[in-house]
Amino acid sequence: MAPSKERLPVMADVARLAGVSHQTVSRVLNDHPNVRAETRTRVMDAIDRLGYRRNLVARALVTRHSRTLGVVSFDTTLYGPASTVYGIEQAARAAGYFVSIVSLKSIDRAGVRDALDYLAEQAVDGIVVVAPQRSAARALADLPAGIPVVAVEGGEAGDVSTVSVDQVEGARLVTEHLLGLGHETVWHVSGPSDWLEAEGRIQGWRAALSDAGREAPEVLPGDWSPRSGYEAGRRLAGMEGVTAVFVANDQMALGVLRAFAEEGVRVPGRISVAGFDDIPESEFFSPPLTTVRQDFAAVGRRSIEVLLRRIETREQWVREAFVVPPELVIRASTSPA
C-alpha cells in the first residue's frame, strides 16, 4: 500500500514496497556491510520510487552522526565573511558533509546563543562560528555542552579552537612595501573598532612603522564601506605631506581612489594607495590596486579539518590555533615616492 498524498513516505513504506524488514532498510541507509547486493538494490529502488528522504535527526539518534555541520556567520554581505562562509561550505561538502547556515545581524550573546541552540536542535555534528568581531568572540564563552565548535577569526575565544588569517603580518607586509618605495610614512584608514581584523591590521601597520623608526600618523576611522573610504580620501587629499595610504579593505580603498580622482590627486603619482582582501574587482580598479590577498579557501579547509578532528576525538580534544599566511599582491597603485 502506497503512502497517501497527504503525508511524506516513511521508512516503513520503503520496507513494505521492497518486501524487507524495517531493520533491513535501516542497515541499507547506514551502509551496513551485512546486506546482500540484491536486497540493497531492491531497497534503493523503493526509496527512489517513493521519493523517501531519511530523517537526519532520527538517524543521528542511532548513528550519533548527522553528516551535517552548522555555520554561524555575521554580515555576509561583506566580502571577507561571505568568502569565508563559501570556503567553509565547499570544504565541508568535499569532506562529505551538508551545511546548515545561520546568518545573524545581532552580535550580542543572546543572538549567538540562540543560533547555537538552533543548530544543536538540528543534531549537527559540529559548528563553525565566523567571529570577526570582539563581541562575537566573547559570546563563545557560553557554548552548548557536548557540541564541537571552531571559531574563524575568533581571537582568544576561550577554550575554542581558532583558524584565522594573519592580519598583523598582512598589514606589516603592505606597510613595509610602501616604506621600501621610499615613502617617509604611511597613513591608515581603519575598519570598525570592534572588528578583530581591523585591530590586527592596525597592529601590523604600527609595528612596521615602529621597526622603521617612523611615527604613526593618526588613524582615519572607516566602517568597511566605500563611502567611509571616500570621506577619508577627501580628508587625506587636503593634507600636506601625505604620499602613501594603507586602507584596511579594498572597498574603502575604492572610495579613497574616487575621492582622490575628484580632487585631482594622481595615484600613484602623488599618493600611493594599497588595500586589503584582494576582492575580484581590485585588479580592475583605476589604477589596479596593490593589496593583501587572504586565502579564504585555505581558511575553510583548515577550519573543517580542525572541526572534524574535534568531532572524532571528543574527550581527547585540546585547543588548537591555526594561522593562514597572507600574500602581498603588488599592482600599479603604488610606486616610489
Write the pLDDT tens digit of every residue in 172-185. 999 999 999 999 99
pLDDT for position 218: 96
List of residues 6+ apart from 266 with CB closer than 8 A: 260
Question: What is the C-alpha separation between 44 and 220, in angstroms, rounded?
Answer: 62
pLDDT tens sequence across 126-169: 999 988 888 777 777 666 667 888 999 877 666 788 999 999 99
Question: What is the C-alpha separation between 288 and 265, in angstroms, rounded?
Answer: 16
**Mean pLDDT value across the chain:** 87
What is the DSSP secondary structure assignment for residue 55, as one 8-state letter?
-
pLDDT tens sequence across 69-85: 999 987 678 888 889 99
List of residues 6+ apart from 79 with CB closer than 8 A: 249, 250, 251, 277, 279
